Structure 1
Amino acid sequence: MEIISTTHAAKQVDNNLLVFTHLSQLLTYVTGFGGFVVPLILWLVKKDQIVGMDEHGKSIINFQITMFLIALISVPGIFLFGLGILSLIYVGIVSLVVPIVNAVRASNGEAPSYFSTIKFI
């Protein structure tokens, strides 16, 4: 007698949701906090259902936390020789360009590539 378990559903391949997850980081420029909350919710809900969502979601959350910490450290750095302004410009440019590049990578089925990111998760 053979028992077949049907509790584990097959994961779906949904590159469009991965692209949307990467592009949802740009909500930071509109709402101020949506760029962290929306990808976090999508990752927590879909990480077991979509192929690659766990890897992409962890990369996005690590990237958002790292950019937040750099920006937070930059504010007092403004008073020290004005170097904080350079790092705030870096955060602004990188937070705009890198999610778009990774959205294109996700649409092609490639792994995300977030450079200068601290691995928290």
Structure 2
Amino acid sequence: MTDSNLPPQDPNAAPQPTPAAPLSHEQDVQWGSFAHLGGILGILPSLIIWLVFKDRGSFTNTEGKEALNFQITLVLATVALWVLTTIITVVTFGFGYVFSFLTYLPWVIGVIFSIIAFMTAKDGNHYRYPFALRLIK
């Protein structure tokens, strides 16, 4: 039986990439926990890990989304604090500059919670941050 309905194959065409292999349980837990730990460096490590491995492991997908949502929350909090500090500084003719250290508070909180999340996730347990905007479902 011939496949006359199929279009002819171009012999010079590039081969189609094969889909990535699913992660083993150990790899899935490892990358899921690294998504949390990457939060120490900011939003990019969590984003990259989630984008690369989200389709290859369910644990990494879940934990990567959770870490990314938390990092997005921290970025928004940092921007809000920066704007608030700037407004207070302008209104009080420079006195509000004393509160500029508050803009570092989200980063400190992020480091603490990222380490706690990593320690929980590395054992294969899901971690849910106590406060995070769940923007990525």
TM bucket (normalised to shorter chain) is: 0.7 to 0.9
- Equivalent in the alignment of 1:20: 34
Gaps of 5+ in 1: 1-6, 28-34
> Residue in 2 aligned with 1:3?
none
Per-residue CA deviations over 1:44-92 (Å, capped at 9, x if unaligned) read: 1111212311111111111111101111010122243859647534313
In structure 2, give the amino acid aligned to 1:100: I
Give the partner amino acid of 1:62: N
Whether the aligned pair in 2 keeps the contact of 1:47 and 1:53 (CA below 8 Å) is yes
- Higher radius of gyration, 1 or 2: 2
RMSD between superposed Cα atoms in Å:
2.5
SS at match of 2:34: helix
Q: For residue 98 of structure 1, what is the aligned residue in structure 2?
A: 113
* Higher mean C-alpha deviation, range 96-105 or range 42-51: 42-51
Matched, 1:111 2:126: yes
Identity %: 25
Per the normalisation by structure 1, the TM-score is 0.74
- 8 Å contact from structure 2 (residues 78, 104) kept in 1: no
Counting matched residue pairs gives 107
Mapped to 1, the partners of 2:22 and 2:76 lie a distance apart of 37
- Correspondences of 1:21-100 after superposition (within 5 Å): 21-27=35-41, 35-78=42-85, 79-80=87-88, 82=96, 85=100, 87-100=102-115
Is the 1:74–1:84 contact (alpha carbons within 8 Å) kept by the matching residues of 2? no
Distance 1:25 1:84, change over 3 A: same
For residues 87 and 119 of structure 1, what CA distance do their matches in structure 2 show? 24
Dislocated runs of 4+, deviation >4 Å: 81-87
